[in-house]
A = this chain, B = another copy of it.
C-alpha cells in the first residue's frame, strides 16, 4: 500500500509542465493558496472530524446524528478561529460550501442554511433595529435559523405560495397559518430537527387586504427543550438522492402568532395600525439570487474537477483490453473512446472556472451600480446568470456521470465517491431556480433583445450585441475551424436560434395568442435559444480568458491552456453540430477536419492528463475516492473500503441461522 503506483508516477514524470503553477492559478494566487492549505490542514487532518464508518453504511438516523456532531465541531473550530482573529468571510465560504465544506460533510451540513440564508436574509431585509436584535445571536449560534420559502405545492413560482400571515391590529401580531396540506413548508435545510428559528416567507394580509409576500422571523422550537412551539407541526421530509444529511424539513402553522417587529421591514413596512408601505423596488432581491447562481457556476467547475481527477487517475492505473494483441494490456486512458469521455470534462472544469471568475467580476460591478441606483444592466446580468446556471449545472451533472461510467463497475461503488458527487451535482439542476424555468427566463430577455435589434436606432448591451451584428451581416463566411471561427459560429447559431424563437412567437401572436401563451407554445424554441446564448457566452469567455491566461503563465502551462481551449471549443461545436450545419454552410471536409482536430486534441492532452488534474490539487479527503487518491493504489483502497462494511465484521450473518439454514435444510 506504500508508495506511488508506478503507472501514475510514470505519468507524472512525463508531464511537460509544472502542476504547481496551475494550482496557484486555480487557487486564485499565492496567498489564497497558502490560506487554503492551512485551512485544509486544520480541518481535514483533525481526526475528530473523521467518520468512524463510511456514510453509506449508516442508517439515515445515524447519518443525521453524525452530521450534527461534525457540524457542531466545525462551528466550535470557527469560534476558535474568530477568537484569535483569523476568521474571514472566505473561511465561512470554504467551510459551508466549496471543496472543504463538501469534504467534511459530504451529504450536506444541517447548519449551512443558517449561515447561507438565515443570516444574509436578516442582513438584507431587516431594519437596523432588527439586525441589532438578531444578528449577534445568530452569528454566535445562540439561535439556529433556517429559511422557509418553498412549499409542498410550490417551488419556483413564488406567487403561488399559500402560507399566510394575517395582521391582527388588536394584538399587534401576525397570525401564521398553513391553510392546506400543500401550504406546508417543504425542503428548508436544517428545518427538520436542527433549527429553532426560521425566516418564513408568507402571503401578507393587513386590514383585510392582500399585500404580497413578506418574510417573518418565527421561533419554531423551544430554546431549552427544543420541543416544537405551540401551533408548529415540524419534521424532516425523508431521504433523497443526495444531500442525505441536510435535515431538510417540513413546517406547518396553526394560528402561530409573532409580534409586529418579527416581520423583516427594511424593504416594506407594516405600521401598528396595519397600514402597509410597499417596497420601492425589488432589484435587491434579484441581487441575492444572482449571487447564488454565480457561486453555482464555480461549484460546477469544482464538481467536474473532482470527477475528472478520479477518472483520470483511475484510467492511468487500470489496465484492460489489449489494443495491440502483441503487447500487454494498456492503461485504459490509451483507449481513444476513454479519452473522449474524460478529457472534455477537464476542459470544462477549467473553462467554467475562468467563466465563474468573469461572471463574478461582472456581478460585483453590476451590484455596485445597483447600489448607486443604476439598474440598467440588471436585466442583462439576470438573464446571463439564469442561463449559465442552467447550462453549467447540467453539464456538470452529465460530466460526472460520464466520468463515473468511464470507470466501469468500480465507478458504480460508493467507495469511488461518484454516487455522492452525482447526487450533490444533479441537485443543482433543480434548486435555486429549476433549469428549464431559468432558460425560459433568459429566453424572454433574448427575444425582447431581438426585437430591439431589429430597430436600427437601438443599441444592445454587450452580452447580446452579437445579435445585432448578425442581423446586419446575415451570411456566415470563412469557417476555418479555428477557435475564433468557432466562437463566431456559436454566436451566429445562437442569434439564429433566437430569431427562430422570435419568429415563431410572432406567428403565434398573429394567430391571437397573448405573449405568455405564445411563449409556452414556443417553449422548446425558447429554451434552445437560451441554451445557445449561454454556450456562445461560454465559448467567447473561454477564448478571451484562456488566451489571456496563456500569455500570463509559463510557455509550458500556456500551451496547456491553449490546448484545453481548443479541446473545449471543438468538442462543444461537435456536440451541437446539427445547429452549426443548419445555419452555416459547412462542407463535409469542414466536419471531417473538426472531428480529426478533436482526436488530435485528445492525443495531445494524453501526456499531461494526470499532471493537469494534479494541478487541481484536491486533497485525498476531498476526493474521498478509492479510485482517485494521489498515490493511485486503487485496488488496495477498494479492498480496504470493502473491509469497512459492517457486514464483513462477522464471518456469518445472523440471517443464515434465522432464514437461510432452515430453507436449505427443509426439502432435503
Q: Which residues of A contact B (CB under 8 A)?
A: 54, 56-62, 64-65, 68-69, 72, 75-76, 79, 140-144, 150, 152-157, 160, 181-182, 184, 186-187, 192-194, 196, 223, 225-228, 235-242, 250, 319-325, 329, 334-338, 340-341, 401, 405, 408-409, 411-415, 418-419, 422, 426-427, 429-431, 434-437, 440, 514, 516-517, 520-525, 527, 576-582, 588, 591, 595, 598-599, 635-636, 638-639, 641-648, 651-656, 658-665, 667-668
A441 to chain B, nearest CB (A): 11
Q: A323's contact among B321, B516, B646, by CB below 8 Å, is which?
A: B516
Contacts of A54 in B (CB 8 A): 238-239
A335 & B652 in contact (Cβ 8 Å cutoff): no
Chain B residues whose CB sits within 8 angstroms of the CB of A340 once the complex forms: 523-524
Contact of A430 among B250, B405, B660 (CB under 8 A): B405
Q: Given A226-B656, A238-B413, A430-B412 in contact, is the A516-B325 Cβ separation under 8 Å?
A: yes
- Report how far A30 CA is from B593 CA in the complex, Å: 56
Task: Say yes or no: B635 contacts A235, CB within 8 Å.
Answer: no
A135–B364 Cα gap in the complex (Å)?
73
- Which of A196, A225, A336, A599 has the most chain B CB within a 10 Å cutoff? A336
Contact A142 B668 (CB under 8 A): yes
Q: Is the CB of A653 within 8 A of B64?
A: yes
Judge whether B427 and A412 touch: CB under 8 Å: yes
Q: Are A193 and B652 in contact (CB under 8 A)?
A: yes
A–B pairs, 5, beta carbons within 8 Å: A60-B646, A140-B668, A142-B665, A184-B639, A578-B578
Interface SS, A side: helix
CB neighbours (8 Å) of A319 from chain B are 153
Establish whether residues A642 and B419, one from each chain, have CB atoms under 8 Å apart when the complex forms: no
Q: Are A320 and B156 in contact (CB under 8 A)?
A: yes
Complex CA distance for A321 and B655, rounded to whole angstroms = 51
Q: Smallest distance from the beta carbon of A137 to chain B beta carbons, Å?
A: 9
Residues of B within 8 A of A155 (CB): 320, 408-409
CA of A575 to CA of B641, assembled, Å: 41
Q: How close is A291's CB to chain B, nearest CB, in angstroms?
A: 21
User: Which one of B237, B431, B636, B644 lies within 8 Å of A238 (CB-CB)?
Assistant: B644
CB within 8 Å for A651 and B409 given contacts A72-B660, A667-B142: no
For A335, list chain B residues within 8 Å (CB): 520, 523
- Is B647 within 8 A of A193, CB to CB? yes
A36 CB to nearest chain B CB (Å): 26
Known contacts A144-B664, A240-B413, A646-B60; decide if A68 and B194 are in contact (CB<8 Å): no
A42 to chain B, nearest CB (A): 19
Closest to A405 in B: B429
